Chains A and B, each alone.
Chain A
Amino acid sequence: MSHGLKLEGVGFAYKATQVLQDINVSIPEGQFVSLLGASGSGKTTLLRLAAGLDPVDSGRLTWNGAPVVGPSLERGVVFQDYALFPWLSVVDNIEIAIAKAKPTVRKADRQAEAGKYLRDLGLEAAIGRYPGELSGGMRQRAAIARALALGSPLLLMDEPFGALDPVNRARLQDLLLEVWELATPRKTIVFVTHDVDEAIYLGDRLVVLGSSPGRVIADLQVPLERPRERHSLLDSHPLQALREQVAATLVQDTLQRLKAA
């Protein structure tokens, strides 16, 4: 039995369009994978397949050896937007996750545990408030808290910081790394982004998707030590070399597509 997330020849079509074709990726447990690609390359689709929100059309998609046939608490998801229910307070949004993950825990204990997750993410001030009253950054913190509260060993994150300003984005990237690095065993994370720097800064590994149809055009290790230090890293030679390599791959893919059209 192979551990982790495994995609073997996975394909997916929406109506007449082949969105993903012959995706072969094997992600071992505990790895942080950045899934990178241009808009329309099927990153989100791939994530939805892994979450079990949509069924694969062809190939095999397994988590810890078992085929993914539907959503499961094993695989938590953080969306870019609307991750929380606006009619529930922040703490209730987290509690509903805990209630599903640990059905036997009493309500008072669930509330206390939800509060703990929120405090870990710097949200103690927002506990009783509603998502509509929070800034985008705070909402995404709460969304991450909820995903963590589910206790899923695999976290699928779909451009979770895509709508944030640069300062908040950097802060949340660091927070995510901190939370991830502290946990034992480490969670497996698939992090979708179209920001090359973000992908490199966070990931152990970059999987780059080309478009039309979406397929893997590069699969690279990130040769950077952890814990990562933002300021020394961003200008470092390995990061720049990797950034250029990825950018070149993406440009080449775009050119090829234009030629074909």
Chain B
Amino acid sequence: MSDFIALVNLPVPAATVPASAAEPGLERGWLSRALESVSVWIVLLLAWWVASVYLPLGDNPLLPSPLITANALWDSLPELWAGTLSSLTILIPGFALATLLGIVSGLAVGTSARLQRIFLPFAKVAGPVPPTVYIPYAIAILPTFKLSAIFVVFIGAFWPIFQNSVAGAHALEQSYRDNARILGLTRFEYQRRVVFPAALPHIFTGMAVGLAFSFILLTVAELFGANAGLGRFVQYYADFADYPKMVAGILYTGLVTFLAMTLLDRVRRRSLFWLK
């Protein structure tokens, strides 16, 4: 078990953070707090604008100004939206399958000493392999690019979810186990009604890591062979040295990633309402 924890780098289930951490005595109105939360954005935007106007970068600026980028973003929205849909048809199946199999197998392994003896040595070796190395082979082996990209996203998201599910099942408090035994729960009831909810804080940690990995792998995979998608969009316009569109693509991808992570966090908060 101890070597297992070393492998997982045991995540601390993030406790629900209070919405406002401000001490009542130190409050200085909503305006100053709003300014604090956007200050980094303002500084970066200014720095970007100054750099794009005053740095001598010639006719085809590597650093398009914010306004030019905004125009490029606006013009590209239909194409970006189509790319988003294309990317989601890779991301969603890969991530969903990883979540499902990661949780089911992780909880099964986490609650069985025998399954741990069988699978953990393998997981310890296979888990840390950077999933990007599978991309060329997956493209060669699987019939379509889409399938191989889904596969790679799946591999990348699977291990963090699996490992955190194992850790969550492992961390199950003795008292819950005793309670389940006293109630005479069947093995399936025990998994579904006790182990799974108890492990949920860990599982969500794994899902957050897995989702971030999914976006990385999605965009990298798209560089290899996609004909649409977010990573493909950036690569395509970089090849034509259309930097305004490329930067617009980067910003847009960042936004989509942020929205997906926010959505997952919402789900997490709703599901873990019972955590104090």
Enumerate chain A interface residues (CB-CB to B < 8 A).
48, 51, 53, 70-73, 75-77, 79, 81-83, 85-88, 96-97, 100, 130-132, 150
The reply to whether A87 and B183 form a contact with Cβ atoms under 8 Å apart is no
* Known A77-B178, A79-B178; contact A85-B194, beta-carbon cutoff 8 A: yes
> CB-CB < 8 A to A132: which residues of B?
274-276
A97 and B182 alpha carbons, distance in the complex (Å): 9
Does B117 sit within 8 A of A, measured CB to CB? no
The reply to whether B175 and A82 form a contact with Cβ atoms under 8 Å apart is yes
Select which of B173, B184, B276 is within 8 A of A100 by beta carbon. Answer: B184
Does B11 sit within 8 A of A, measured CB to CB? no
A106 and B182 alpha carbons, distance in the complex (Å): 22
The reply to whether A79 and B181 form a contact with Cβ atoms under 8 Å apart is no
> CB-CB < 8 A to A77: which residues of B?
178, 182
Q: Which residue of A lies closest to B193 (CB)?
A: A96
Q: Which residue of A lies closest to B197 (CB)?
A: A87
Within 8 A of A (CB), among B191-211: 193-194, 197-198, 200
Q: Which residue of B lies closest to A86 (CB)?
A: B274
A150 and B185 alpha carbons, distance in the complex (Å): 12
Other 5 A-B pairs with CB < 8 A, given A83-B175, A96-B183, A130-B273? A76-B182, A77-B178, A81-B175, A86-B276, A130-B274
Does B179 sit within 8 A of A, measured CB to CB? yes
Enumerate chain B interface residues (CB-CB to A < 8 A).
173, 175-176, 178-179, 181-185, 193-194, 197-198, 200, 273-276
The reply to whether A150 and B183 form a contact with Cβ atoms under 8 Å apart is yes
List, sorted by A's number, 6 A–B pairs whose CB atoms are closer than 8 Å. A77-B182, A79-B178, A82-B179, A83-B179, A100-B183, A150-B182
The reply to whether B178 and A87 form a contact with Cβ atoms under 8 Å apart is no
* Known A96-B193, A130-B274; contact A85-B179, beta-carbon cutoff 8 A: yes
Q: Which residue of B lies closest to A72 (CB)?
A: B184
Question: Is chain B's interface secondary structure helix, strand, loop, or mixed overall?
Answer: helix
A196 and B185 alpha carbons, distance in the complex (Å): 36
> CB-CB < 8 A to A70: which residues of B?
181
The reply to whether A87 and B182 form a contact with Cβ atoms under 8 Å apart is no
Q: Which residue of B lies closest to A80 (CB)?
A: B175
Q: Which residue of B lies closest to A130 (CB)?
A: B274
Q: How far is the CB of B26 from chain A (nearest CB, A)?
A: 29
> CB-CB < 8 A to B198: which residues of A?
87
* Known A53-B178, A72-B184, A73-B184; contact A85-B193, beta-carbon cutoff 8 A: yes
Q: Which residue of A lies closest to B200 (CB)?
A: A87
A51 and B197 alpha carbons, distance in the complex (Å): 25
A71 and B186 alpha carbons, distance in the complex (Å): 12
> CB-CB < 8 A to A73: which residues of B?
184
Listed residue (B176, B178, B182, B185) with the most chain A CB atoms within 10 angstroms of its CB: B182
A130 and B275 alpha carbons, distance in the complex (Å): 10
Q: How far is the CB of A127 from chain B (nearest CB, A)?
A: 16
> CB-CB < 8 A to A83: which residues of B?
175, 179
> CB-CB < 8 A to A76: which residues of B?
182
> CB-CB < 8 A to B173: which residues of A?
82
> CB-CB < 8 A to B273: which residues of A?
130
> CB-CB < 8 A to A71: which residues of B?
181-182, 184
A77 and B184 alpha carbons, distance in the complex (Å): 12
Select which of B176, B193, B200 is within 8 A of A82 by beta carbon. Answer: B176
A51 and B184 alpha carbons, distance in the complex (Å): 12
A83 and B182 alpha carbons, distance in the complex (Å): 11
A256 and B173 alpha carbons, distance in the complex (Å): 36
